[in-house]
């Protein structure tokens, strides 16, 4: 096992430059809370998103996944680190240039109703990015809006309706249409289907995949739902406590997960079949009393069946190390589910 410690100049997943649309390098976002307290929402996160692919970012609440998403778009300013979009360093851009750049980077939010202006009609909502970017030709805008209604499967008759007159699933179609209005190359989907009911959620996921194929879009799919991330993504990063616990191509990560947290997440996804549910492998995880995160060593150590009782996990931060083609894991004991269970038993025995 070779240790590929994070190099300060090079992102850990090496992708040919021409293939990379978004390169995130050592992104850090700290928030000051109170006089001396600092929340390390995102703490040295690096990854590369390839053109035309979907990069999944999965994590539980507080993992930093939404902060990563918003910092990439510079909706929040990063504390340090860089985001290179299509060869352009976004941090170096002046406000005007950034606004022009944002035409090609869009976001769809979780709550479809909270992210639209309720006093506008659906057609005004979808037209707003074009108006904001300075488009004045109303015929051109109308034609584009009408086309977008078709693209996302909204009836043209809804053009003059208001958000309260449509359902959550339809309103999310409006959010998607608005994100596509400026013909972006990159769309961040931040929990974009999480507030939708099962039957409607599948419609929207199918729509998103179809749009990607037809428009050649690159997605970053942010979600707490591992199963949906697996369905949507080509590569996946598992975030815990502001750090990447594990990152890699979908097949490798889901077939051979290495981080105890990834194992715990996979084992905890409810399966809609009582027989299959019983047959599943479960890797233990613990629950901490508060929201405390271990800052000295591995972020996950307090909840980890192995790390809980081992000094090295509590005191030494594990670096991302290579486990095969582009598959990286930040764990002192990267292994299979069976050996985690065995190692945990041994560790607690030794204690």
Partner 1 sequence: MTVGAPGAALPTADTPTAMLDVRNLRVSFETRTGVVTPVRDISFRVAPGQRVGLVGESGSGKSLTALALMRLIHPPGRVGGQVLLNGRDVLQLGGRELAKLRGGQVAMIYQDPMSALNPVQTIGHQVVEGIRIHMNLGAREARDRAAMLLTDVGLRDPLRRMKSYPHEFSGGMRQRVMIAMAMSADPVLLIADEPTTALDVTTQALVLETLMRMVEERGSAVILITHDLGVAAGFCEDIQVMYAGRIVERAEASRLFRHPVHPYAEALLRSVCDLDVNIAAELPAIAGQPPLPSALPSGCAFHPRCPYALDICRTVEPAPLRIGAGDAMAECHLAEERVADAVASGDR
Question: Which residues contribute to the site for partner 1 (CB under 8 A)?
Answer: 60-61, 167-170, 197-203, 205-206, 209, 224-228, 230-231, 250, 254, 264-277, 282, 285, 287-291, 303
- In the complex, the smallest distance separating the C-beta of residue 197 from partner 1, rounded to whole angstroms, is 4
Q: In terms of Cα–Cα distance, which of 161, 228, 172 is closest to 200? A: 172
The Cα–Cα gap between 1 and 117 comes to 53
**Paired tokens of 280:** 């599943």
Our CB check for partner 1 shows the closer of 106 and 172 to be 172
Give the side-chain half-sphere CA count within 13 A for 88.
15
Query: Terminus-to-terminus CA distance in the chain, angstroms?
Result: 28
Bridging pattern class, strands 321-322 and 235-240: unpaired
Our CB check for partner 1 shows the closer of 136 and 276 to be 276
Our CB check for partner 1 shows the closer of 86 and 225 to be 225
Our CB check for partner 1 shows the closer of 141 and 304 to be 304
- In the complex, the smallest distance separating the C-beta of residue 32 from partner 1, rounded to whole angstroms, is 20
- In the complex, the smallest distance separating the C-beta of residue 193 from partner 1, rounded to whole angstroms, is 9
The Cα–Cα gap between 349 and 351 comes to 5
- Torsion angle (degrees, nearest 10) of CA 129, 133, 139, 141: -20
- In the complex, the smallest distance separating the C-beta of residue 254 from partner 1, rounded to whole angstroms, is 7
DSSP letter for 146, please.
H
Judge whether 49 and 55 are in contact, CB under 8 Å: yes
Our CB check for partner 1 shows the closer of 217 and 264 to be 264
Q: In terms of Cα–Cα distance, which of 197, 132, 81, 100 is closest to 141? A: 132
- In the complex, the smallest distance separating the C-beta of residue 289 from partner 1, rounded to whole angstroms, is 6
- In the complex, the smallest distance separating the C-beta of residue 150 from partner 1, rounded to whole angstroms, is 17
Our CB check for partner 1 shows the closer of 59 and 334 to be 59
Our CB check for partner 1 shows the closer of 95 and 290 to be 290
- In the complex, the smallest distance separating the C-beta of residue 199 from partner 1, rounded to whole angstroms, is 4
Our CB check for partner 1 shows the closer of 129 and 163 to be 163
The Cα–Cα gap between 138 and 310 comes to 66
Q: In sequence order, what E strands does 230-276 have? A: 235-240, 243-249
- In the complex, the smallest distance separating the C-beta of residue 171 from partner 1, rounded to whole angstroms, is 11
Residue that the structure tokens 């978004």 belong to: 22
Give 39's strand partners: 31
DSSP letter for 8, please.
S
Judge whether 312 and 324 are in contact, CB under 8 Å: no
């Amino acid at each position: 096992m070779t240790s590929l410690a994070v190099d300060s100049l090079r992102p850990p997943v090496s992708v040919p430059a021409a293939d990379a649309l978004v390169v995130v390098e050592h992104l850090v976002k700290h928030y000051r809370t109170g006089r001396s307290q600092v929340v390390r929402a995102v703490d040295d996160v690096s990854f590369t998103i390839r053109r035309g692919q979907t990069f999944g970012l999965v994590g539980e609440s507080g993992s930093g996944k939404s902060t990563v998403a918003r910092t990439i778009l510079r909706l929040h300013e990063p504390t340090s680190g860089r985001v290179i979009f299509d060869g352009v360093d976004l941090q170096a851009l002046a406000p005007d240039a950034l606004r022009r750049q944002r035409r090609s980077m869009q976001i769809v939010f979780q709550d479809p109703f909270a992210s639209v202006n309720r006093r506008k009609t659906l057609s005004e909502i979808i037209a707003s990015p074009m108006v904001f970017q300075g488009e004045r030709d109303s015929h051109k805008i109308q034609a584009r809006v009408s086309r977008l209604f078709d693209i996302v499967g909204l009836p043209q008759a809804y053009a003059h309706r208001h958000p309260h007159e449509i359902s959550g699933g339809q309103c999310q179609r409006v959010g998607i249409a608005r994100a596509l209005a400026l013909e972006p190359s990159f769309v961040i989907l931040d929990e974009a289907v999480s507030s939708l009911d099962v039957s409607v959620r599948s419609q929207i996921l199918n729509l998103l995949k179809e749009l990607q194929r037809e428009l050649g879009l690159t997605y970053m799919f942010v979600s707490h739902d591992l199963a949906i991330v697996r369905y949507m993504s080509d590569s996946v990063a598992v975030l815990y406590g502001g750090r990447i616990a594990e990152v890699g191509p979908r097949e490798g990560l889901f077939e051979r997960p290495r981080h105890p947290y990834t194992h715990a997440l996979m084992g905890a996804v409810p399966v809609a079949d009582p027989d299959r549910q019983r047959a599943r492998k479960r890797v233990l995880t613990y629950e901490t009393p508060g929201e405390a995160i271990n800052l000295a060593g591995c972020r996950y150590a307090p909840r980890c069946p192995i790390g809980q009782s081992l000094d090295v996990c509590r005191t030494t931060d594990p670096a991302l190390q290579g486990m095969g083609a582009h598959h990286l894991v930040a764990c002192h004991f990267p292994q299979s589910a069976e050996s985690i269970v065995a190692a945990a038993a041994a560790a607690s025995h030794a204690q």
